[in-house]
Structure 1
Amino acid sequence: MSDYDFDLFVIGAGSGGVRASRVAAGHGAKVAVAEEYRVGGTCVIRGCVPKKLLVYGAHFAEDLKDARRFGWNVPDCGFEWPTLRDNVLAEVDRLEGLYKNTLDSHQVELIPERAAITGPHSVHLASGREVTAKHILIATGAWPVVPEIEGAEHGITSNEMFHLEACPRRLAIVGGGYIANEFAGIFHQFGSQVTLVNRSSTLLRGYDESVRDRLMQISMGKGIQFRFNAQLDKIEKMDDGTLCVHFKDGDPIPCDVVLFAAGRRPHTDGLGLENAGVEVNEKGAIKVDDHSRTSCESIYAVGDVTDRLQLTPVAIREGHAFADTVFGGNPRTVDYDCVPSAVFSDPPLAGVGLTEAQAKNKLGTVKVYTSDFRPMKNVLAGREERALYKMVVDATTDRVVGLHMIGPDAPEILQAAAIAVKAGLTKQQFDDTVALHPSMAEELVLLK
């Protein structure tokens, strides 16, 4: 018999925590997972899954207009936000049920309570129950940052965007990252007047400059407004219930909803990390080694709470590698090189590997190939919107070190192309591949 209640106790039932729990249990471990809110975490409940469904819904705005150019007698259509909202939330409920079934089928005990660490092998539950475990895994994710300004309580975060009572007539979005740009594209298509407010002059820091600039150009052409180098002062609630965003300099912005989308912070507050000597960095992220072990030998952490790469597939890999290492007798680490990422903006963009600037700094001499074109569908639809594909090549070895794209279905195309970049294929090998015509993806093997 073990000296502990569980072999593994997981705090947080998001993507990383659920995967770690399931795999550890498959290796024969006795596992429990505590979740204070809902099973599925940010991605399933209040992040990428419901947001992608909103993206699909938003696409119909332009698709219905374009259909007329393709011969369809489409009448003027009205949009009903409550219908989409409720259908999306119902799908979230369904997915949460599947996640719960996964835990149940692997004999993982689900404890719907908040948990806090009281020692290297002990956890205190909100009900007052004290639980012991040989190993503890922290997978509590990250949480939206809310600025410390007067009237901040009048704003909302991405968590609440999926539950709005009505589609806002005027939406102010604070931030310049992927969440800000995605919601800007979504609600613009739903008919909102969208203003994106950014404290710097740069959107989507970390993505290639060419695709960032193209997104802003297209967004402005669609009617999305931008306010750069804007320092928030306060948010004022007016007598009629609307809001007014004030800045240190510049005119205020009247709106109906203010969305804070200026970053996410590792969710470590109140976890009791100090009780086990678990160290965090200056951002509050848990410090871990290559095997996700913290400064306390019996405690591990995976996912956004470590702030390595805040991506769901990365959290899943980290959780799986942890379980294999600790319980499966198969020590594994996660390879963070060439991880593809996407922004489901309007249009979407995606990238993998080094940007042009990064490649020049790291490699010195690079070759850059681009294709700037108007997709066939846009041509017939009468849309001027252009796609941009960019390939960054090491001039010495001819190896493709980066691919960056903006245009319809860019993430779908890049997922397959990322395999080639990860495998270290050369520009010549791309050139040697016969094009699949007519397609947008064929531009990748025709770059000159």
Structure 2
Amino acid sequence: MTDEQPPAQVFPNRFPEAMDSRPGARQDRCHCFSQTRVSLPGRVTDFHADIQDTSAPGWLRLLELIDEAAADGREEFRPLTEPSPEERRQLVTLPASIGRLTAVRTLVLYGSNLVRIPPEIGGMTSLEEFSPYTSRRLHWFPYEITRCGRLVNSTVSTRSIYGNYKYRPPFPRLLPTGDTVLDLDGLAPAHWGTTAARTCGVCTGPAPATGPHPAMAVDNALLYRRERLATLPLQRHLLPTRLPGIPWARSAHRHLPAQNGTLAGGDWYDAVQLPGGRVGMTVGDVMGHGLGAAAAMGRYRSSARALLTVGLEPGQFLTRLDGLHGPDDATDNHLPATCVCAVYDGVTGDLGLALAGHPPPLLIRPDGSTDTLAAAPGPPVGMGLGHTYENAHRAVPSGSLLVLYTDGMIEDRSAYFDLDQGIAMLRRAVHSTETPPDVTRLTHVRPAAS
């Protein structure tokens, strides 16, 4: 035995620029999607609309640094270490001249304010490491980066990327051009993700001013039509044609498949009359669209109906449903889903409620007052998290109206509304309980896209 201690080990900091403590402005705040919680299905995201100020000192200095790097043939390029914090903040993209750095093997952009990478990065044929770590506003990378055949290492903030597995923020929906001729040197970045498109990202040929190459567009249209025609009948056959007739309650439902060029999704609804003057209700929304989502919806709805019939409490219902549909189930097209479960006791007026990443129901009382029935916000079911969902209980007066819905009712891909604004619009549309609910009118509160 000895009292001598082993020498302390010192490990180098792999991300020194990311920990830069120089004072001054850094990144602008980003509100595209939450980078701390799971996105709801159907959530709308957009590209950043920022346009680079080509007269900014930071931009002019970056052009000089690229010229210097191209002239001396350096293999490592760290363009953000020299500019001041304010100059770094002025950079929202890289110049097209970045493609001249054919000798650069390592490109480091820690903590940048970038919102897009230009397609010219594909010209960096020697690039082996690309690290835009802690660039929180950079959510996607151009297809042209696949031309960097030697690229084998990259350090990115994955929670900031569209479609990341942890928080599942959706990709922005690209707008079809139709027959419109575009100004390919003056595109709106909020819609197209770029300000210019001079060449095709796939074939390197010139980009047509009316959008995708004709053969590719026709092929995509045919594939879309075939899948939509197959999905809609499947979706209709998997949903109930009517809800149970309950003497002491009236019910109404409406399912409107996705429109405006979007494949049908995986929404479901159901209600079951239970012993003791109770009724169980569930509405759910599978993440995704197309045949896979419709098939997953059928499995979720079958399981949900069986669990409702057993008479479980809403929290127990969601916990069991989550356990039945996880990443380890036997199906190949596993998809998570949001869900709301409610069990109403017509004798006591008690409403049990539980939510799995789903918008909260609305309650409209006989006096016209309305409430959003919040509950503990659990994650979507089917994610394999083993979450235990909690029950919430609310008193519901006789003669009230309870509205369960999916997020397609309160979101619009063509406008900039958040969930709270959508719920407020729905609340105004169902403000009265004096007449039977007009579900046809409710589908027009907002154009449903999922």
Verify same fold: TM over 0.5. Answer: no
TM-score by length of 2: 0.20
What TM-score does the superposition give when structure 1 sets the normalisation length?
0.20
Relative CO higher for 1 or 2, CA cutoff 8 Å, sep ≥ 6? Answer: 1
Give the structure with the higher percent helix. 1
Higher share in strand: 1
